[in-house]
């Protein structure tokens, strides 16, 4: 006789693909519910867990990273196992996951970036913020990234929080950066940076900027950089005035920008220049970025209260040797999993994966986080997002066909039969301690290990000693 799904004898087997914040919040929500016994395996392509908290959150924002404590509590639960360094597609396939797990959650985030689709975007010296952020955060895939910081002027396109992060990292002194867990290779390179001017290009006005108040305020507190905002850029049209009146965050942002405009230049060696109502229309250069051509914009209020921008046919050129596009992230397709290319995410209804945009649901497959809703919100936004998905998963349990091979050891055997060098959570905790120990003498939170082979060698030598 087969046991009922979700009981102690036959727990609900769930695979979570991706050990970032959304995956951990989904695991946490599954552990908290009382209706079913669960057994959860979390997989990550990298040996290291925590996804964007480790490789996206800026190294000078350590407080945000303390959220890891919550994820550690989730991992400490005996119902959860961690399989790091396991790539979905090459080490284990999606059909294999479907053989061993009653439900699968894709928590794969948004690994790629949106494009401007303008001439010159792929010239050497033009980068996505995704690459730069991953590089300075020590993501193993970006260790060999080459960015030439001998130039004097860089352009950052976009005015979201990622643009603020990139700007701050370019603008900070080596003293400021050396207290953080920024990757050693980035610290070394930024220590010799020649950048004096960082130009931030916003296609709309200051009221429409997407940054949040702590992030814009921080620019005004940098040791070696002044922020330059032109007072005339803060003169608002009627639609922007109305938008401003309705939103407290925007009001605080405007107060900060006004303070910057009043303060002006104080003589610090670096300068951050804001350019509002400008769209990049071409990245210019002969074999290397030398300037960015911008078109002036006008704001146009649309019927749905959205304030759009339109070019007015007037152009100016901004000399720059580097361009960072910080205009949003995009998910990348996973083999065998539906993907809605237009929005760059896994199509879904509230977290239930659908075969196409607005199509039929795919039984047993779910999505959370940026792969579900697009690249918006702060880390905490992923908690209610994951709870929504998990609630639907629980609703679906009575209609599920339990998988035949639910034995937790089957997945281990499969990975071992392929010689997949996976690591478990205890292995990760060991690596974590190594990093923290390396950071202590330098007064840093940790020194990140950026090479996967070094991580695996360290883990294996620890196991050899046991
Ligand atoms: P974002 O907040 O969506 O900002 C994207 C920016 O790019 C906007 O200013 C947008 O302008 C602009 N943009 C988009 N397409 C453009 C184009 N074709 N030409 C010119 N500009 C264009 O995205 P993000 O900065 O990547 O951040 C992603 C999410 O992570 C956000 O929710 C953010 O708050 C969060 N995050 C939070 C923190 C933190 O809490 N400290 C740090 C980093 C990221 P329009 O408004 O005109 O579209």
CATH number at residue 268: 3.50.50.60
pLDDT tens-digit map of 457-466: 999 998 878 7
pLDDT score at 463:
80
**Is the domain of 293 the same as that of 152?**
yes
Nearest alpha carbon, ligand 1 atom 4: 160
Cα 94 to ligand 1 centroid, rounded to whole Å: 32
**Is the domain of 219 the same as that of 342?**
no
Q: Which helix (H) or strand (E) holds 232?
A: none
Query: Is residue 431 one of the residues assigned to a domain?
Result: no
Cα 197 to ligand 1 centroid, rounded to whole Å: 21
Residue 82 CB contacts under 8 Å (≥ 6 apart), including other chains: 19, 41, 42, 44, 49, 75, 423, 424, 425, 428
Give me the number of domains the chain comprises. 2
Query: Is residue 1 one of the residues assigned to a domain?
Result: no
Instruction: Please tell me the pTM assigned to this model.
Output: 0.96
Nearest alpha carbon, ligand 1 atom 14: 327
Integer Cα distance of 466 and 464 in angstroms: 6
Cα 391 to ligand 1 centroid, rounded to whole Å: 29
Question: Given 310, 329, 348, which residue is the final one in a domain?
Answer: 329
Consecutive sets of 10 residues in the chain, 466 residues long: mean pLDDT of each?
86 98 98 97 98 97 97 98 97 96 97 95 96 97 95 98 98 96 97 98 98 97 98 96 96 98 96 98 97 98 92 98 96 94 96 96 97 95 98 97 94 97 97 98 97 97 82
Q: Is 215 in the pocket of ligand 1 (CB under 6 A)?
A: yes
**Is the domain of 299 the same as that of 377?**
no
Cα 288 to ligand 1 centroid, rounded to whole Å: 26
pLDDT tens-digit map of 279-305: 999 999 999 999 999 999 999 999 888
**Is the domain of 76 the same as that of 152?**
no
Cα 377 to ligand 1 centroid, rounded to whole Å: 10
pLDDT score at 2:
66
**Is the domain of 302 the same as that of 349?**
no
**Is the domain of 206 the same as that of 133?**
yes
Q: Is 294 in the pocket of ligand 1 (CB under 6 A)?
A: no
Pairing verdict, β 270-275 and 197-201: parallel
Cα 432 to ligand 1 centroid, rounded to whole Å: 31
Determine the residue of 58, 157, 327 to mutate for testing ligand 1's pocket, defined as the one with the most ligand atoms within 8 A of the Cβ atom: 327
**Is the domain of 246 the same as that of 269?**
yes
Query: Is residue 463 one of the residues assigned to a domain?
Result: no
Question: Given 275, 303, 329, which residue is the final one in a domain?
Answer: 329
Question: Given 284, 304, 329, which residue is the final one in a domain?
Answer: 329
Query: Is residue 448 one of the residues assigned to a domain?
Result: no
Q: Is 240 in the pocket of ligand 1 (CB under 6 A)?
A: no
Q: Which domain does 162 fall in, by range?
A: 112-329
**Is the domain of 268 the same as that of 159?**
yes
Determine the residue of 200, 210, 275 to mutate for testing ligand 1's pocket, defined as the one with the most ligand atoms within 8 A of the Cβ atom: 210
Using an 8 Å Cβ cutoff, are 217 and 256 in contact? yes
pLDDT score at 303:
86
Query: Is residue 231 one of the residues assigned to a domain?
Result: yes
**Is the domain of 83 the same as that of 141?**
no
Question: Can you give the CATH number for the domain in which 366 is found?
Answer: 3.40.50.720
**Which residue, 26, 28, 71, 30, is CA-closest to 48?**
71
Query: Is residue 236 one of the residues assigned to a domain?
Result: yes
Cα 89 to ligand 1 centroid, rounded to whole Å: 30
**Is the domain of 380 the same as that of 362?**
yes
Query: Is residue 86 one of the residues assigned to a domain?
Result: yes
**Is the domain of 157 the same as that of 302?**
yes
| Contacts of range 169-174, beta carbons closer than 8 Å, 24 or more positions apart | 169/58, 169/59, 169/60, 169/132, 169/136, 170/195, 170/198, 171/195, 171/198, 171/219, 171/222, 171/224, 171/225, 171/270, 171/272, 172/60, 172/222, 172/223, 172/224, 172/225, 173/223, 173/224
Using an 8 Å Cβ cutoff, are 320 and 289 in contact? yes
State the virtual CA torsion across 367, 368, 374, 379 in degrees, nearest 10: -170
Query: Is residue 441 one of the residues assigned to a domain?
Result: no
**Is the domain of 82 the same as that of 132?**
no
Q: Is 382 in the pocket of ligand 1 (CB under 6 A)?
A: no
- Nearest atom within ligand 1 for CA of residue 214: 41
């Amino acid at each position: 006789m087969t046991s009922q799904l979700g009981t102690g004898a036959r727990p609900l087997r769930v695979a979570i693909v991706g050990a970032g914040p959304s995956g951990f919040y989904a695991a946490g929500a599954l552990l908290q519910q009382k209706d079913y016994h669960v057994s959860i395996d979390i997989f990550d392509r990298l040996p290291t867990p925590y996804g964007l908290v480790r490789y996206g959150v800026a190294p000078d924002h350590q407080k945000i990273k303390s959220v890891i404590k919550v994820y550690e509590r989730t991992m400490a639960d005996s119902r959860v196992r961690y399989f790091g360094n396991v790539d979905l597609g090459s080490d284990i396939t999606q059909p294999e996951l479907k053989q061993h797990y009653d439900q699968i959650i894709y928590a794969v985030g948004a690994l790629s970036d949106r494009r401007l689709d303008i001439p010159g975007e792929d010239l050497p010296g033009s980068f996505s913020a995704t690459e730069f952020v991953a590089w300075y955060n020590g993501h193993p895939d970006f260790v060999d990234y080459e960015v030439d910081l001998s130039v004097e002027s860089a352009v950052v396109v976009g005015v979201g929080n990622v643009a603020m992060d990139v700007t701050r990292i370019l603008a900070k002194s080596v003293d400021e950066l050396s207290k953080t867990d920024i990757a050693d290779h980035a610290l070394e390179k930024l220590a010799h940076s020649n950048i004096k001017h960082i130009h931030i290009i916003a296609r709309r006005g200051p009221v429409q900027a997407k940054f949040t108040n702590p992030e814009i305020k921080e620019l005004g507190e940098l040791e070696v950089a002044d922020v330059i905002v032109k007072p005339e850029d803060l003169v608002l049209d009627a639609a922007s005035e109305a938008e401003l009146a309705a939103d407290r965050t925007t009001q605080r942002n405007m107060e900060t920008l006004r303070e910057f405009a009043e303060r002006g230049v104080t003589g610090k060696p670096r300068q951050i220049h804001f350019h509002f109502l400008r769209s990049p229309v071409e990245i210019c250069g002969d074999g290397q970025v030398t300037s960015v051509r911008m078109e002036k914009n006008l704001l146009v209020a649309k019927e749905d209260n959205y304030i759009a921008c339109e070019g007015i046919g007037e152009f100016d050129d901004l000399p720059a040797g580097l361009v960072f596009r910080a205009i949003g992230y995009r998910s990348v397709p996973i083999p065998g999993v539906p993907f809605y290319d237009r929005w760059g995410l896994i199509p879904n209804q509230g977290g239930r994966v659908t075969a196409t945009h607005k199509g039929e649901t795919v039984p047993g497959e779910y999505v959370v986080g940026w792969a579900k809703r697009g690249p918006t919100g702060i880390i905490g936004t992923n908690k209610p997002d994951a709870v929504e998905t998990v609630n639907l998963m629980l609703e679906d349990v009575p209609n599920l066909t339990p998988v035949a091979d639910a034995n937790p050891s089957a997945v281990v055997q499969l990975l071992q039969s392929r010689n997949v060098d996976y690591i478990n959570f205890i292995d990760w905790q060991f690596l974590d301690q190594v990093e923290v120990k390396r950071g202590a003498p330098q007064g840093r939170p940790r020194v990140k290990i950026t090479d996967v082979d070094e991580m695996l060698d360290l883990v294996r030598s620890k196991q050899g000693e046991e």
